[in-house]
Amino acid sequence: MVTKNLLLELGTEELPPKSLRTLAQSLHDSFVKLLGENSLSFSSSKWYATPRRLALFITDLADKQADKEIEVKGPAIKAAFDANGNPTKAALGWANANGIKIEDAQRLKTDKGEWLFIKTFKKGQAASAIVPELFKSSLKALPIPRLMHWGDKKEEFVRPVHTLCMMYGDELIPGSILGVESSATINGHRFLGSQKVTIKSADTYEEQLLKEGSVVADYEKRKASIISQVTEIANSVNGIADLDDSLVEEVTSIVEAPHIFKASFEERFLKVPAEALVYTMKGDQKYFPIYDKDHMLLPSFAFASNINPKDPTSLISGNERVVRPRLSDAEFFFNTDRKYTLESFFEKLENIVYQKDIGTIAFRSNCVEQLAVYIANLIGADEKKSARAAHLAKCDLASTMVTEFTDTQGVMGMHYAELDGEDADVSEAIFQQYLPRFAGDAVPTKPVQIAVSLAEKFITLVGIFGINQLPKGDKDPFGLRRAAIGIVRIILENSIQLNVVDVVEKACSILADKLLSKETKDNVISYIFNRLKAFYQDQGIEGNIFLAVLSTKPSDLLDFDRRVKAVKAFKEIPASENLASAYKRINNILSKSDITETSVNQSLLSDQYEIKLYEILQKITPVINKYYDEANYAEALAKLAELKDPVDQFFENVMVNSDDTAIKTNRIALLRNLHLIIGQTADISVLY
């Protein structure tokens, strides 16, 4: 079979930078899947993506589909022939449709009956005939929330399409997609090199684009080049660059040939909290801030350009001129805010509505303050500091800086509190109330900060659930998922013993006048535990382990976590499956019995196997109960392994439902004791 490399490129106007990687990866995955479904073999695949193109490169693609032997099933024998053995119209029609005579058909016997069938060969189609449709289907399947059309064209895509190149080896594959005909000529860089590049072969695509068109088609190479150049510039000023991956990704998706330059700003701007300056540099201008070894912002930054002039002086001064007004704005907002104390902004919160059914941000802050004090008392945090931090936590929302630069909330509150002379725990708690902000972010680790952050999240959950504004699909405007997983992470990562049911009840009492749903408490607790389930799944812990522990209706997440880890370890020991099966059998027996007796009469034990089970229970029960008292669930479950053989032998040799009522009652009592000692950590019956 002949194989050649395949190139597919769609040339467009500038694609959405934050979606470029997703679009390219999705296009690749969809197309590769279709190749497999259509029996087109290949060696490897990769995607290319620049601001103005999406491309696929398939190595050693077969020139045609593999031939297939196909079995075509016909009507059942009973329906294919009449009583005289003559073929029916159904049989003749099937034979005619498949181009055979009825006598040439074979018979297929199965457990369900006998049918006519034939074996036929389907000749594989040429790859060049199939590829355009597969590419078209893959483009249509891209996750594009809003399509657009351009000019007088009816076709729609995320951006206007100008070129299409489909090449198999050095042969152009003809075809039209999104109103554009396939051509070997594609667009180069807008400003550098040749603006039009004629591709000689799929094999020369990347090299030609780079040498002739000044385009770095490989996304990862562009990204690596940006990181390397920015790092070199940072090193030149003895600094460390802010190479936030989301920023690097966005810049990679904006330029086709990255050239990085160093610029600077006036040192007077450094009097403004660095976060405000960084916010505008990264968010508005896509610049790379540079810090010194102590993580203090330097008056230098790096920026990417799509051009590379011999004399970059004008380019650099232009970027410095662009950023200066934004830094001046930040300076003005900061100086304006510093005319007042942070606490003085609280009055303005009385006029800012958090949610119409709940009330103002000031009212909500008071609720968080009450709950923070309650939690502080439970975890040993300073109650006065916790109350103060919660009171000030949202004040910066009324500041000029946060009104203009919304992403600086919490950060500016922390700085303003520090400048006002507030306690360090108080100022830190103002920022850390929002932690963790995203997956993998840090969590608060100090008592006051933990109390305020947990209070913020519990009040959010109870308040929004209480007015029936639950998340729907991927819509979660109040960040309930983040709040719930934040509660889980803060408690577990700090090993905090905290009864979440009690905390939710307290939050419900604080917000009582606002709650519209009577099921608020139960719904919030259920939601937190659902997030906990997802938390464990991310760690590779099976769902049935989670459900086994959930059956014990725990209220302490730390205790729950210990049980989960103990059950995970228990499931790995050889005796676990037998004990789980036995426990399930015990559950079934007890659920059908009205006998509630738990006291075992030793004199009624006659069978050697029930005696042996009773004796081992007497021996290990005190030991296991001691482990339970110490919350040492791992050792408790490991100790249960000693029950395996006695339990197996009991069920193999002893009739529980004896005709003698006294003996039956005694054996049920023995099983109730066994059930109690096995089930204290989790319901292990659901493990298998």
> Looking at the chain, how many residues does it have?
688
Residue 668 CA to residue 437 CA, distance in Å, equals 53
Report pLDDT digits (tens) over 363-398.
999 999 999 999 999 999 999 999 999 999 999 999
Angle at 133 between CA 128 and CA 138, to 5 degrees: 120
Report pLDDT digits (tens) over 250-293.
999 999 999 999 999 999 999 999 999 999 999 989 999 999 99
What pLDDT shows up at residue 394? 98
What pLDDT shows up at residue 370? 98
What pLDDT shows up at residue 9? 97
Distances (CA, A) of 90 to 79, 110, 163, 342, 672: 7, 20, 51, 86, 65
Angle at 124 between CA 123 and CA 125, to 5 degrees: 120
Distances (CA, A) of 471 to 476, 479, 489, 537, 604: 5, 9, 20, 21, 59
Residues of the chain with pLDDT under 70: 121
What pLDDT shows up at residue 205? 97
**Whole-prediction pTM:** 0.78
Residue 470 CA to residue 480 CA, distance in Å, equals 8
| Cβ within 8 Å of residue 571, ≥6 positions away | 545, 687
Q: Is 518 helix (H, G, I), strand (E, B) or coil?
A: coil
CB 258 within 8 A of CB 296: no
Residue 362 CA to residue 352 CA, distance in Å, equals 8
What pLDDT shows up at residue 361? 97
What pLDDT shows up at residue 655? 92
CB 90 within 8 A of CB 292: no
